[in-house]
Amino acid sequence: MSRLETIRLISYAKSGHYGSSFSCSEIFATLYYYQLNYDSKNPKWAERDRFVMGKGHSAVGVYPILADVGFFPKEELDTYTSLGSPFGDHPDMNKIKGIDFSSGSIGHGLSVGVGMSLGARVDGLKYRTYILMGDGELQEGQVWEAAMSAGNFKLGNLVAIVDNNKVTVDGVTKELMNVNPIKEKWESFGWNVVEVDGHDVEALIDTFDNLPNVDSKTPTVIICDTVAGKGVSFMEHGFEWHVANLGEDDIKRAIAEIEGGK
């Protein structure tokens, strides 16, 4: 559903982040339909879990889910990217119910999450904060400032999710600016590291079920092995589809493949 809606919405805009949204479709679905604690009728509920997209350009994959779980009517999505619409390529917390923080500047998300996790601690609340980052995002220095501080402040209520789809705008992450080894980096910053197939919903559920207690002293990072453009054969693994626009025939092919794959 997230993938099909992404294609529909991007067709309005004539340009959008297909590949980087498709790589985290299962992550979004598992978070909103299984893991996150929220109340779509009370989006500002103080005890809700927080979800921040460090890679805000995947927002087009989340908007349809937010509508589906009741934050706003699905028809509102049809304004996507039109003049004055609340729904842009990157999300705005003051315009869209269910969005916990505005994003768009890659590398800020984990720092925001550190602040939210500290806020939970100050208030004595038990919610968790989840931050989705891309592997390309790990090239931003601020991510490692935040990673260091999360370990230092012992934020067991903070969960980072790395959508390791291995591509960025200009090419393949490993060749363009190698971020590997990812696992060892997080371990050395004092994090609990879990590796999982990011397209395997059952494995994701199992990972979330086994998160350390909120009161634990160690933040957790879930490194999700994913495929950019997952679900559409001619998009998979290709950095060309990070930002792109599908022609009409390609849209039909993509929709057929996604529906066939369900």
Partner 1 sequence: MTTQTFHKDTWELFKSLELSKQLTTGETLAKLGHEHPEIVALCADLGYPTRLADFGEKFPDRFFDFGLAEKNMVTAAAGLASTGKKAYVSTYASFLGVLCAEQIRTAVAYPNLNVRLIGTHTGIAMGFYGTSHHATEDIAITRSMANMTVISPADGVALSEMIEESVKTYEGPIYFRVSRGRETPIYENNSSNIQNKIGKANVVREGSDITIIACGIEVKQALEAAELLERENISTRVIDMHTIKPIDQEIIFNSAKNTGAILTVEEHNVQGGLGSAVAEVLMESGNFCKFKRHGIYDEYSIIGKPYYLYHHYKLDGEGIADEAKTLLNQS
Rg (CA), the chain: 17
Asked if 161 is part of the footprint of partner 1 (rule: CB under 8 A), the reply reads no
Binding test (CB under 8 A) with partner 1, winner from 3, 17, 108, 128: 108
Asked if 146 is part of the footprint of partner 1 (rule: CB under 8 A), the reply reads yes
Q: How many beta carbons lie within 10 A of that of residue 100, not counting itself?
A: 21
Least distance to partner 1, CB of residue 113, Å: 6
Least distance to partner 1, CB of residue 220, Å: 18
Binding test (CB under 8 A) with partner 1, winner from 68, 145, 200, 236: 145
Asked if 244 is part of the footprint of partner 1 (rule: CB under 8 A), the reply reads no
Query: In the beta sheet, which residues pair with residue 224?
Result: 163, 196
Asked if 68 is part of the footprint of partner 1 (rule: CB under 8 A), the reply reads no
Site for partner 1 in 6-45 (CB under 8 A): none
Is-contact 32 235, C-beta < 8 A? no
Asked if 157 is part of the footprint of partner 1 (rule: CB under 8 A), the reply reads no
Binding test (CB under 8 A) with partner 1, winner from 8, 79, 86, 115: 115
By the 10 Å C-beta count (0-12 exposed, 13-18 middle, 19+ buried), 134 is classed as buried
Binding test (CB under 8 A) with partner 1, winner from 13, 79, 85, 104: 104
Total residues at interface with partner 1 (CB under 8 A): 29
In which order are the strands placed within the sheet that holds 158-164? 50-53, 129-134, 158-164, 220-225, 192-197
Binding test (CB under 8 A) with partner 1, winner from 5, 26, 100, 163: 100
Is-contact 21 101, C-beta < 8 A? no
Asked if 101 is part of the footprint of partner 1 (rule: CB under 8 A), the reply reads yes
Binding test (CB under 8 A) with partner 1, winner from 11, 40, 139, 142: 142
Q: Which helix (H) or strand (E) holds 195?
A: strand 192-197
Q: Give which of 55, 56, 50, 57 is closest to 32, Cα–Cα.
A: 50
Is-contact 13 80, C-beta < 8 A? yes
Interface ranges with partner 1 (CB under 8 A): 46, 52, 93-94, 100-102, 104-105, 108, 111-120, 122-123, 142, 145-146, 148-149, 152-153
